[in-house]
Amino acid sequence: MQNKRWFPRAGALRTPLRILYWAPLGIVLTTHWYNVRVISGPSMQPTLNPEWSLSKDYAVFDKVAVLDKQDCHRGDIITLKSPLDPKYKLIKRIVAEEGDTVKTLPPYPLKEVKIPQGYVWVEGDDPFNSDDSNMFGPVPRALIESKLVFLIWPPSRVGKLEEPKLPLSGTGPTFRRAMAAFERAHARQSRVTPAAKIVIPERV
C-alpha cells in the first residue's frame, strides 16, 4: 500500500507565518520601546497588586517616555534603579518634581525637602510597606527607566490607571475601596507644594 504524503493546508500555515513576520517588530518594541512587567511586592498597594485580587498585576511600561524628561510627571508610576543598589529595580510613584517642596514621612530626618534640579521624590502607595525617598531621599531622574502605561492583567482591571475620584454614591466594598483610594491620593497630594511658575510678562 502506497503511503500518502501529507502537506499542510495553506490556512494552517498562516498563523505561524504571521508570527514569524511580526516577531522582529515585537522584539524591537519590547527591547527598545516597551516592556511587560509582573508587579511583585506590596509597596504599591492598593493601586497595584491589591489584596483583594487573586493574581499579580501585569503592566506595560513605556521606555521612550523617560528619554523626554518632560514626559514623566508628578503622579506617574515609574520603574527605576534603586539608588542603594542599581542591580535592583523599584516601582514607585513620582510624588514631587524639581522645585517642589514635599512634607516627608518617617524615617526621613527632615520635615520638608525642596527637590533639586534633575531629581524627583518617589514613594510607594503603601507607605508602611515601601522603601522609598522617605528612606533614601530624592533620586536622580537618570535612574528612571520606564513609565507605566496600562495594565494588561487581570482582565477585570485592564486599562489605564486613572487618578482616583471622589465617589458620589454607593455602598459595599467597591465604594469603600474607591473612597479609600481617593483619600489616600488626596493626602499624598496635600503634602506637596508645587514649584512656583515663572510668568514672563509680554511686552506691549
Give yes or no for a contact between 62 and 34, defined as CB atoms under 8 angstroms apart: yes
- 3-state percent breakdown (helix, strand, coil) of the chain, nearest 5: 30, 25, 45
Catalytic residues: 43, 92
Instruction: Give the length of the chain.
Output: 204
- Measured distance CA(88)–CA(172) in Å, rounded: 39
- What is the rounded radius of gyration, in angstroms, for the C-alpha atoms of the chain? 22
77/146 Cα distance (integer angstroms): 9
